[in-house]
Amino acid sequence: MMKMQALASGSNGNAIYIGDGDCHILVDAGISCKRIRDGLKLLGVDPGDLSAVLITHEHSDHIQGLKVLSKKYHVPVCGTRKTLEYIAMNDHDHEIDMSLYHPVEAGKTFEAGNFKILPVSTFHDAADPVCYRIENSRQAFAVVTDTGMVSEEMILKMQELDGILLEANHDIRMLEAGSYPFPLKRRILGDYGHLSNERAGLFLTQILSKRLKFCLLGHLSEENNYPELALMAVKNEIDLSDIPFRSEDFRIDVATRYESSAVYTVTEDEAGCGE
């Protein structure tokens, strides 16, 4: 059985757990070590049992708890070389043991425990950002956030998933009419910013299969989105498309920034087949 839980997802902190009982992975460590520890404890996981922390990119809402977590529990840290170089350069007190850094390369699969992990390049104003596909012999999950647009490579590599956490950052009209300064609006709306609700829904229509059991929408803007609005927009993109699937065919929920999400599980019997 493979499971996913968002310990937190939003512009003030992101940390996503994925595990199967034998292997435990954390995607990003953008909340305090205490919150990570407490969240993992409820899952029956000790932080010291993590096979790796996968870093998508170096922005603070994805790494702010990393130094303490690595220092206390000696957890391996995986990310692209430029991402890790940035983290190391700003680790002035050398809290992270250099031996814990493990550079990975977009497009090249690596292993952590019994998981095969594929980093895939994303489009964000960071050093070398990636999203991740994480799978064992039976099940495949992905975490796709912090990207202003979607490439053919992303669509290709995210086929045949059992579950995904997908960014639905903002409603375009709320952002355009909101109080953010113009340069920030332009950044968020740009190709190296964040996925809107509609773009998230369109991406889903391009990777949907009978295998997908759940989609957890994440990284919602606190100022420029509402959970109900994100759900409605994403479902509308699916239901108005010409694909042979509809939004009621699988579970779609929204992750929150201050509390852990539900635990999403896919059993071996469910993996690879539709319900």
Q: Domains of the chain, with CATH numbers? A: 2-261 (3.60.15.10)
Mean pLDDT of 239-263: 96
Tell whether the model's pLDDT for residue 46 goes beyond 50: yes
Average pLDDT over residues 189-210: 98
87 pLDDT above the threshold of 80: yes
Q: What value does the mean pLDDT take over residues 30-34? A: 97
Give CA–CA dist 273/160, Å, rounded: 10
Share of the chain above pLDDT 70, in %: 98
User: Rounded to whole angstroms, how far apart are CA atoms 98 and 74?
Assistant: 11
pLDDT the model gives residue 268: 75
- Report pLDDT digits (tens) over 95-128: 999 999 999 999 999 999 999 999 999 999 999 9
Rounded average pLDDT over 213-220:
98
Q: Give residue 269's pLDDT.
A: 73
Residues 134-161, mean pLDDT to the nearest whole number? 97
Say how far apart CA 85 and CA 103 lie, in whole Å: 9
> What is the distance between the alpha carbons of residues 233 and 188, in angstroms, rounded to a whole number?
18
Query: What was the pLDDT predicted at 273?
Result: 41
Residue 270's pLDDT is 73
Q: What is the mean pLDDT of residues 10-17?
A: 95
Query: The pTM is what?
Result: 0.96
Q: Averaged over 82-86, what is the pLDDT?
A: 98
Q: What pLDDT digit, counting tens, does each position of 166-184 carry?
A: 999 999 999 999 999 999 9
CA distance 2 to 28: 18
Strand 101-104 and strand 77-80: pairing?
A: parallel
Confidence of residue 275 (pLDDT cuts 50, 70, 90): very low
Does residue 159 surpass a pLDDT of 60? yes
pLDDT of 235 strictly over 80 = yes
Whole-number pLDDT of residue 271: 60
Q: Characterize the bridge pairing of strands 115-121 and 110-112.
A: antiparallel
Percent of the chain with pLDDT over 90: 94
DSSP for 200-256, please give it. Answer: HHHHHHHH--TT--EEEEE---SSS--HHHHHHHHHHHHHTSSSS--GGGSEEEE--
